């Protein structure tokens, strides 16, 4: 069964049973009240009639007046008075056979009793006059309220029940749709995401912290991890193939040209030297790639451990210089905190190494041999890492696309690259619950700021 | 350790915190109480004065980067920085400034040699004229940017890095 239908059924059952109980209670108590009230009215009529017919003149007038003035005639009202011989004996009157025997016996035994057959209500009482004679007084009348008003009430309750049912149906359908909608949205959005567009994320409303947005957030975290691992590999493969291809092409070309005809020994020496140079380059590059591979995923999940960020940065700079000896990196540790605990982060060393080295290498690449500046400081449980270069920068209108994979700014035509480094770095920083910001101006350089939480704390954003 | 109180004029730019950095590195052997002072005329309308709150005003004036830089300085110089506080000076003449210095027992004043004041608030004013005339020991420092191309950022966090003390 669909969850939406389930919600509708449950809601309808709850609301209908509640409404039924409620209207049943109203119906029962109103009719109950109507019965007692009507017998009370009959009682008053019985006593006043008996008094007015059986008592002395002087009292009777007032009662008669009162009765005429304040007690209106009931429908089919009939009052019969039978004189009683003894307390227990039924009067011998043929009219008395109109009444139920059990009712008459109850009247004689208890002093008063009542019963009803469908429309007509009977009330009987034993009246003792001032001259100490007993009379059996029986009043019968039709209960107009029960026959008409209660019927009306019942119809009213039934119609309101039907209306309530319709309202409940509409409300529960709307309610269930509202509840289900965000989940359906998430499902639709997740269906859109495939390995081609892993950079897509679910939208998570910031202000509320309910289960749905937590679900979306969890999906996003999962996508972050997925995307990172995808791109680490893509990054590596594309880097590797390209880097290896260039010297290989030149070796093949050189050898081809040399072999095209018989040459003098000097020429062979020169061309072999060129080939050797290229082969050495190739060797250097494979070594660098090996290094890169070592910093990538080990395929066994991400292991987080406590490590010192300053040590990591020194390692990264070492790697960067190994990859390309012409890279110049200036370190500014002037605001390194006194307390070493403030430099510890909970991080996956390989991943964070990859992220920071990507950013520093980017800086080196786009600043044409000018030094890249790296600074580290700790502010209130927050490690701040600033990487600043003097390079070509990013045009202002393109800065919002820099986190899209494979996006390359318009001024990067002269530089090799694949547009993977920065999104990858950002994802890695996100996995570490950190924050990465890029500010840049075309031709003036780029500043990347990475905020990471000190070990054992959370970054407050 | 000797104790010292140092007054530093600030315009709430990250750049001005470089003076704090130099004051701390020069006085490595002293315990320092550093007072960052900003000149600001108090409002003169009745309602503004009634609702005046220094805390709120300071919160309004301090940028996120300024606060982060202050915290970085505090974590760096944890052992010889006793106190780093930000205050507002709102006197009108030299005498008031002298009184302020005396009241806060200021020993030295540090300021940038190439001081370029930028009013943060519409009623901000430059403290340098008072400082120059003051009888307290004034130390001017000069900072040099490390990058060729870097203009020192006023308000960016990187303003406190990538530069060095070139002369006192």
Nearest to B26 by CA among B115, B106, B143, B134: B143
Nearest CA-CA distance, residue B72 and chain A, Å: 4
Contacts of A390 in chain B (CB under 8 A): 147-150
Question: What angle, 0 to 180 degrees and rounded to 10, lies between the N-to-C axes of helices A3-54 and A57-70?
Answer: 150
A237 in any annotated domain = yes
User: What per-residue confidence (pLDDT) applies to A21?
Assistant: 93
Q: Cα-flanking dihedrals φ and ψ of residue A345, to 5°? A: -125, 155
Contact between B161 and A449 using a beta-carbon 8 Å cutoff: no
Q: Cα-flanking dihedrals φ and ψ of residue B163, to 5°? A: -155, 165
Based on the fold, state whether residues A102 and A246 are members of the same structural domain: no
With CA atoms as reference, the chain B residue closest to A338 would be: B76
Quote the mean pLDDT of chain A.
82
3-state class of A335 per DSSP?
Answer: coil
Residue A207 has pLDDT above 80, yes or no: no
3-state class of A92 per DSSP?
Answer: coil
d(CA A71, CA B91) in angstroms, rounded, equals 94
The CA-CA-CA angle for residues A82, A85, A90, to 5°, reads 60
Residues of B with CB under 8 A from a CB of A: 21, 67-73, 75-79, 146-150, 156-158, 160-162
Nearest CA-CA distance, residue A384 and chain B, Å: 9
Q: One digit per residue, pLDDT tens: chain B, 168 residues?
A: 788 899 999 888 888 888 888 888 888 888 889 999 998 888 888 888 888 888 888 888 888 888 888 888 888 888 888 888 999 898 888 889 999 999 999 888 988 877 778 888 888 888 888 888 888 888 888 777 665 555 556 667 777 777 766 666
Under 8 Å between Cβ of B98 and B134: yes
Based on the fold, state whether residues A307 and A394 are members of the same structural domain: yes
User: What per-residue confidence (pLDDT) applies to A450?
Assistant: 92
Select from A144, A168, A184 the last residue of a domain.
A144
Based on the fold, state whether residues A247 and A119 are members of the same structural domain: no
pLDDT: which is higher, A269 or A68: A269
Under 8 Å between Cβ of B62 and B17: no
d(CA A252, CA B55) in angstroms, rounded, equals 73
Write the pLDDT tens digit of every residue in A297-318: 444 555 788 899 999 999 988 8
Residue A403 has pLDDT above 90, yes or no: no
d(CA B18, CA B10) in angstroms, rounded, equals 10
Q: Pairing state of beta strands B108-112 and B137-145?
A: parallel
Question: Which CATH number do you get for residue A71?
Answer: 3.30.450
Contact between A379 and B76 using a beta-carbon 8 Å cutoff: no
pLDDT: which is higher, A265 or A51: A265
Q: Which of A335, A337, A439 sits opposite B160 (nearest CB)?
A: A335
A445 in any annotated domain = yes
Q: Chain A to chain B, count of Cβ pairs less than 8 Å apart?
A: 86
Q: Cα-flanking dihedrals φ and ψ of residue A383, to 5°? A: -85, 125
Q: Which of A375, A379, A384 sits opposite B162 (nearest CB)?
A: A375
With CA atoms as reference, the chain B residue closest to A331 would be: B162
Angstrom distances, CA of residue B65 to CA of A200, A314, B1, B71, B72: 31, 25, 31, 10, 10
Write the pLDDT tens digit of every residue in A31-75: 888 888 888 888 888 888 888 877 776 667 777 777 777 777 777
Write the pLDDT tens digit of every residue in A276-297: 988 887 887 676 566 555 554 4
In this prediction, does ipTM exceed 0.85? Answer: no
Nearest to A390 by CA among A376, A411, A369: A369
Select from A114, A144, A174 the last residue of a domain.
A144
- Tokens found for residue A42: 């009959």
Question: Which CATH number do you get for residue A399?
Answer: 3.30.565.10
Contact between B156 and A342 using a beta-carbon 8 Å cutoff: no
Contacts of B147 in chain A (CB under 8 A): 370-371, 373, 388, 390, 445
User: What per-residue confidence (pLDDT) applies to B62?
Assistant: 87
B81: exposed, middle or buried (C-beta count within 10 Å: 0-12, 13-18, 19+)?
A: buried
pLDDT: which is higher, A337 or A195: A337
Select from A112, A144, A176 the last residue of a domain.
A144
A156 in any annotated domain = no
User: What per-residue confidence (pLDDT) applies to A238?
Assistant: 72
Contact between B161 and A370 using a beta-carbon 8 Å cutoff: no
Task: Compute the radius of gyration of chain B from its Cα atoms.
Answer: 16
The structural architecture, per CATH, of the domain B2-167 is 3-Layer(aba) Sandwich (3.40)
CB atoms < 10 A from the CB of A209, how many?
A: 9
Contacts of A335 in chain B (CB under 8 A): 21, 72-73, 75-76, 160-161
A58 in any annotated domain = yes
Q: Give the DSSP H/E element, type plus range, for residue B89.
A: strand B81-89
Q: Give me the mean pLDDT over the A244-269 stretch.
A: 88
Based on the fold, state whether residues A276 and A356 are members of the same structural domain: yes
Nearest CA-CA distance, residue B73 and chain A, Å: 7
Q: Give the DSSP H/E element, type plus range, for residue B55.
A: helix B54-61
User: What per-residue confidence (pLDDT) applies to B141?
Assistant: 82
A229 in any annotated domain = yes
Contact between A336 and B76 using a beta-carbon 8 Å cutoff: yes
Helices (H) and strands (E) in chain B — how many of each?
6, 7
Which single residue is written with the structure tokens 């993977």?
A420
Write the pLDDT tens digit of every residue in A424-444: 788 888 888 888 999 888 888
Q: What percent of chain A has pLDDT over 90?
A: 10
Based on the fold, state whether residues A252 and A337 are members of the same structural domain: yes
Name the pLDDT band for A269 (thresholds 50, 70, 90): very high
Q: Give me the mean pLDDT over the A129-134 stretch.
A: 78
Name the pLDDT band for A89 (thresholds 50, 70, 90): low
User: What per-residue confidence (pLDDT) applies to A236?
Assistant: 67
Q: Give me the mean pLDDT over the A180-207 stretch.
A: 81
d(CA A351, CA A431) in angstroms, rounded, equals 9
Name the pLDDT band for A409 (thresholds 50, 70, 90): confident
Under 8 Å between Cβ of B39 and B90: yes
Write the pLDDT tens digit of every residue in A346-396: 888 878 888 898 899 888 888 888 888 899 988 888 899 999 888 888 888
d(CA A283, CA A286) in angstroms, rounded, equals 5
Q: Which of A338, A388, A444 sits opposite B158 (nearest CB)?
A: A388
Contacts of A337 in chain B (CB under 8 A): 72, 75-76, 78
Total of domains in chain A: 2
pLDDT: which is higher, A87 or A50: A50
Lowest-pLDDT range of A27-31, A116-120, A252-256: A116-120
Contacts of B76 in chain A (CB under 8 A): 334-338, 377-378
Write the pLDDT tens digit of every residue in A197-206: 878 888 877 6
Name the pLDDT band for A244 (thresholds 50, 70, 90): confident
A9 in any annotated domain = no
Instruction: Please give the residue range of the domain that contains residue A378.
Output: 215-453
């Amino acid at each position: 069964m669909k969850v939406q239908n389930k919600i509708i059924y449950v809601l309808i059952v709850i609301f209908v049973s509640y409404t039924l109980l409620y209207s049943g209670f109203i119906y029962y108590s109103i009719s109950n009240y109507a019965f007692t009230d009507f017998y009370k009215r009959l009682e008053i009529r019985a006593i006043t009639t008996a008094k007015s017919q059986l008592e002395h003149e002087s009292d009777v007038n007032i009662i008669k007046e009162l009765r005429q003035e304040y007690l209106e005639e009931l429908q089919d009202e009939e009052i019969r008075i039978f004189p009683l011989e003894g307390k227990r004996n039924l009067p011998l009157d043929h009219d008395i056979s109109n009444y139920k025997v059990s009712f008459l016996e109850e009247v004689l035994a208890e002093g008063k009793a009542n019963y009803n057959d469908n429309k007509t209500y009977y009330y009987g009482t034993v009246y003792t006059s001032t001259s100490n004679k007993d009379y059996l007084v029986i009043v019968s009348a039709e209960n107009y309220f029960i026959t008409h008003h209660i019927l009306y009430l019942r119809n009213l309750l039934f119609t309101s029940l039907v209306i309530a049912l319709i309202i409940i149906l509409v409300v529960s359908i709307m309610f269930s749709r509202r509840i289900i909608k965000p989940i359906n949205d998430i499902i639709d959005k997740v269906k859109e995401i495939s390995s081609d567009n892993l950079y897509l994320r679910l939208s998570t409303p910031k202000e509320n912290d309910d289960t749905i947005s937590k679900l979306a957030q969890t999906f996003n975290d999962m996508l972050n991890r997925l995307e990172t691992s995808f791109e680490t590999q893509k990054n590596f493969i594309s880097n590797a193939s390209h880097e290896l291809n260039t010297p290989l092409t030149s070796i093949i070309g050189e050898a081809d040209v040399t072999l095209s005809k018989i040459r003098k020994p000097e020429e062979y020496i020169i061309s072999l030297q060129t080939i050797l140079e290229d082969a050495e380059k190739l060797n250097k590059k494979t070594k660098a790639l090996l290094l890169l591979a070592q910093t990538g995923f080990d395929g066994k999940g991400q292991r987080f451990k406590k490590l010192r960020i300053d040590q990591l940065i020194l390692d990264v700079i070492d790697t960067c210089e190994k990859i390309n000896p012409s890279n110049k990196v200036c370190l500014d540790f002037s605001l390194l905190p006194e307390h070493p605990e403030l430099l510890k982060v909970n991080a996956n060393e390989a991943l964070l190494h990859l992220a920071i080295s990507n950013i520093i290498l980017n800086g080196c690449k786009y600043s044409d041999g000018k030094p890249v500046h790296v600074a580290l400081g700790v502010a209130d449980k927050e490690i701040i890492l600033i990487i600043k270069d003097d390079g070509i920068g990013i045009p202002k209108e393109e800065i919002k696309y820099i986190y899209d994979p494979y996006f390359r700014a318009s001024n990067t035509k002269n530089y090799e690259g694949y547009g993977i480094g920065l999104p990858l770095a950002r994802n890695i920083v996100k996995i570490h619950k950190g924050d990465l910001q890029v500010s840049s101006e075309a031709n003036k350089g780029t500043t990347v700021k990475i905020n990471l939480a000190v070990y054992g704390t959370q970054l407050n954003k | 350790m000797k104790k010292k109180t140092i007054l530093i004029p600030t315009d709430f730019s990250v750049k001005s915190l470089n003076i704090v950095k130099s004051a701390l590195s020069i006085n490595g052997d002293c315990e320092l109480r550093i007072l960052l002072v900003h000149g600001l005329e108090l409002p003169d309308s009745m309602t503004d004065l009634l609702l005046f709150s220094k805390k709120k005003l300071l919160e309004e004036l301090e940028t996120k980067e300024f606060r982060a830089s202050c915290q970085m300085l505090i974590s760096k110089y944890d052992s010889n920085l006793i106190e780093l506080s930000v205050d507002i000076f709102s006197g009108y003449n030299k005498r008031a400034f002298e009184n302020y210095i005396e009241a806060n027992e200021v020993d030295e004043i540090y300021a940038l040699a190439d001081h370029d004041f930028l009013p943060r608030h519409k009623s901000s004013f430059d403290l340098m004229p008072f400082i120059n005339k003051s009888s307290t020991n004034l130390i001017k420092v000069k900072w040099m940017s490390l990058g060729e191309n870097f203009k020192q950022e006023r308000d960016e966090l990187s303003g406190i890095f990538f530069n060095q003390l070139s002369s006192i």
